[in-house]
Structure 1
Amino acid sequence: MTTMPDRPNTALLVIDVQNDVVAGAHDRDGVIANINTLVGKARAEDVPVIWVQHSDDDLERDSEAWQYVSELARHDPEPLVHKTYGDSFEETSLEALLAGRGVGRLVVTGAQTDFCVRSTLHGAFVRGYDVTLVGDAHTTQDLTEYGAPAPNLVIAHTNLYWQGQRAPGRRAKTVGTAEVTFTADEG
């Protein structure tokens, strides 16, 4: 249903599951386990897995803090997109990678829910992609001291509002790990 009829394929996006990004994240181990399940399923179905890795002044490239968590292993042929903005499309190779693979539908996982995950969801949607958020495969840190809701509420709210997104010719939805299929006609 994407607005890109010549791009019928799906890709799994794994956003910023880096040491410092998820160090204090809500349900860290459960989310990483779900992402691992999805990565395995995508690989078994020959669905592209695209890894996104953030760097900035607080997350220095090539530092230990910047590295992906040890529980997740990227295979060499799987693309790694380096970014410096919340939206994984901004000034990166992501769009070219997706176009080259005929991808018009994204299944999104990662961290942090209220920053890079949300930015990428919206960035993909406004660019014409169908976007499925995996509701139990994204997380965030506790930012209540800055006035944010508790992490479980941030995650629940994001899952709720993403399920309700609408736009012409595109589909947004939220599903659990067990419900993910990598076909365009997912229910």
Structure 2
Amino acid sequence: MTTFPDRPHTALLVVDVQNGVVAQAHDRDAVVGAVATLVDRARRERVPVVWVQQTDDEIVRGSDGWDIVPELAPADGEPRIEKQHGDSFEATELAGILAGLGVGRVVVAGAQTDACIRATLHGAFVRGYDTVLVTDAHTTEDLTAYGAPPPAQVIAHTNLYWGFQSGPGRTATTAVAAEVDLVGAAGQPIANTA
């Protein structure tokens, strides 16, 4: 039910699954595995995969920490977005790429739950996209030393509240990776370009 009636497609956004971002992440291997499964399914179902990478003073472009984790590999032709803000749409070409693909619905996975995942979900939603948070395919590091709840609670809370997000003309939902509908009720796969 996206606010973009002329955009029937869905895209999988893989946000910041980079060495320097997930090195100390809660349940890292399981989350990366869930993301890998989603990426494989998206490719089989001809759903675009868009890779997002944080670039800043701590995660320098071209460094080992900037690289996407070795378990995942963007395929030739899959869009890659570099960002400097939490919201993957902010000051990037993401909205234009999604428009060009006819995407009105995004499935979001990656890191970190309480930063870039949260910001990207809200950014997509307020821009009119239907959003799906993959509940077992996002993670964060332990920031309890700074007053944050433990990572498992941060993840659980985000999963809880995102399912209650609402707005006219768009939906916000959650699903586990194994049950995510990558095409969407109104969507359709992108024509095979291979």
Q: Which residue number in structure 1 is paired with residue 99 of structure 2?
A: 99
Q: Which residue number in structure 2 is paired with residue 156 of structure 1?
A: 156
CA distance in 2, matches of 1:182, 1:59: 30
Q: Matched residue of 1:178: which SS?
A: helix
Unaligned runs of 5+ in 1: none
Unaligned runs of 5+ in 2: 187-194
- The Cα offsets for residues 34-85 of structure 1, whole Å up to 9 and x where unpaired, read as 0000000000011000000001111111111111100001101100000000
Q: Matched residue pairs, number?
A: 186
- The Cα offsets for residues 142-168 of structure 1, whole Å up to 9 and x where unpaired, read as 000000000000000000000000000
The 8 Å contact of residues 14 and 110 in structure 2, kept in 1 or not, is answered as yes
Q: Which residue number in structure 1 is paired with residue 175 of structure 2?
A: 175
CA distance in 2, matches of 1:23, 1:37: 20
Q: Matched residue of 1:50: which SS?
A: strand
CA distance in 1, matches of 2:75, 2:184: 25
Paired residue type of 1:93:
E
Report 1:32-47 matches (<5 A).
Answer: 32-47=32-47
- The Cα offsets for residues 130-185 of structure 1, whole Å up to 9 and x where unpaired, read as 00000000000000000000000000000000000000011001110111112322
CA distance in 2, matches of 1:126, 1:144: 30
Report 1:80-99 matches (<5 A).
Answer: 80-99=80-99
| Alignment TM-score, normalising by the size of structure 2 | 0.95
Identity %: 63
Q: Which residue number in structure 1 is paired with residue 190 of structure 2?
A: none
Q: Matched residue of 1:170: which SS?
A: coil
Q: Which residue number in structure 2 is paired with residue 60 of structure 1?
A: 60
The range that moved more, 56-65 or 45-54, is: 56-65
| RMSD, aligned α-carbons | 0.8
Give every structure 1 segment of 4 or more consecutive aligned residues whose post-TM-superposition deviation is greater than 4 Å.
Answer: none
Q: Which residue number in structure 1 is paired with residue 11 of structure 2?
A: 11
